[in-house]
Amino acid sequence: MLAVAGCQLLGDGSTIGTIAPGTLRPNLAADIGAREHPHVVATYGGVYKDPGAERAVASVVGRLVEASEDPAQSYKITILNSPAINAFALPGGYLYVTRGLLALANDTSEMAAVIAHEMAHVTSNHAIQRQQRAEARELADKILSNVVQDSEKARQAIISSQLSFARFSQTQELQADAIGVKTLAKAGFDPYAAARFLESMKLYADYQTANEAKSNAPDFLSSHPSTPQRVSLAIRAARQIGAPGIGERDRDAYLARIDGMLYGDDPLEGFVRGRSFLHKALGIGFTVPKGYIMENSPEAVLASNGDGTAMRFDGADLSGYDSLRDYMNAGWINGLLPQSVRETTIGGIPGVTGAAITQGWSFRIAVLRIGKTGYRFIFASRNPTDSFGAQFHETIESFRQLTPTERARLRSLRIKVIKSKPGDTPRRLAIGMSGIEASRRLDFFSILNGLDQDKTIPAGTSIKLVTD
């Protein structure tokens, strides 16, 4: 669990945007934002507090507000402790950016473009106009809703806090893009930054979804649909203002402010390293098969592949159960096949496995016990193939307790900013990064820094590395 605290970078949120007479009661927008704010903060891992990151955001807000369509609107801007690349707005001037988004931005204008876009949603009252959507997360959360009987509360929390407040219509997105670009330029920033950052996010999303596996992490592109048409419209809006090269970018100052910022998973929730999950405090780890994309969330570790298989890993209190078999048969699994329950041992750790079929889904379940804690693996597929069972067993058999040395060496990843030297190339600098699979470092480095991986980097360029 993470402690939650407020982080206000500007304003007191007491002023709402312009509202047509008779459409809303006074202060409705502010009331909605205040009500939803704690849920947003809890969903995204709490508030991220970092003086440099806070200064980076605060440095642009005043200029953007003054240049916006409603300079009287005040804002509460929160940096969320999440590696997901996301930004969104709530009624009443509540704006959010994740540290994952700040890490992907390469200059002040790109970060300002995102904030200007979200401000446009507020000043246009888009959040008030939209209807709440009742939709569950994708594949991995089917595990909760179909197998675990006590899942309804968790499912509803996921729906309300991650999805329903975040979605705007395509028309609203395009409107916010156009307004945001104008605001960006009026504030003196590079108006082409919006299109540039949309391209970076698309490249990063493609990088994450290798092998056609899809992450279930809520991110900016899932809640803000990105298409070639949308990018071209952003470029067109910028061209109406001026030719490329106008406006402030300020790469060096921006990257200096995020130097040292936490990257990736919060250590309190464990670390994803390639296809492995490692938890320093709990002293455990496991590895998923090739082709799986892993996501760490506050509730669970999720993974999926391109064949329609999803995995969920979490913990459960077993202090009230005499045996793992008793726990497996305690009624928390819908459709459990009693004859499938088997006791086992994985690397000296006692466990139990089983299978279930319900609502068109096939499941493989394992619970491994260390002390009073049960570590649960749940694999799910609508169309299980021969590899389904093999991948399940490969994963649970990789579960192990970390050695003291491994735990001591496990450190958080952080952004490290350096200056390139004469002759430096993306290939040369990518080698020095940590926490990224060696075969994917060059692609990751190029996307993270917005650079062509086949070109020499000009000497003196500020460069982001991810290191531990």
Q: What is the pLDDT of residues 277-309, one digit of tens each?
A: 999 999 999 999 998 888 887 788 999 887 889
**The pLDDT of residue 163:** 44
Ranges of CATH 3.10.350 domains, the chain: 413-467
Between CA 129 and CA 139 the distance in angstroms is 29
Between CA 31 and CA 363 the distance in angstroms is 43
**The pLDDT of residue 184:** 94
The distance of Cα 138 from the centroid of its chain, to the nearest Å, equals 15
CATH no. for 413-467: 3.10.350
pLDDT at 16 over 50: no
**The pLDDT of residue 371:** 93
- Sign of torsion, CA 36 38 42 44? positive
Q: Which of 143, 269, 162, 266 is nearest to 218 (CA)?
A: 162
Ranges of CATH 3.40.1000.10 domains, the chain: 267-408
Q: What is the pTM of this model?
A: 0.73
pLDDT at 314 over 70: yes
Q: What is the band of 149 on the pLDDT scale with cuts at 50, 70, 90?
A: low
What average pLDDT is seen over the chain?
82
Q: What is the band of 162 on the pLDDT scale with cuts at 50, 70, 90?
A: very low
Whole-number percent of the chain with pLDDT over 90: 53
Q: Which of 262, 297, 307 is nearest to 277 (CA)?
A: 297
- Angle, vertex CA 82, rays to CA 79 and CA 88, nearest 5: 55
CATH no. for 267-408: 3.40.1000.10
- If you ran DSSP here, which 8-state letter would residue 248 be given? B
**The pLDDT of residue 468:** 86
Q: What is the band of 20 on the pLDDT scale with cuts at 50, 70, 90?
A: very low
3-state secondary structure of 35: helix
pLDDT at 88 over 80: yes
Q: What is the band of 7 on the pLDDT scale with cuts at 50, 70, 90?
A: very low
pLDDT at 142 over 80: no
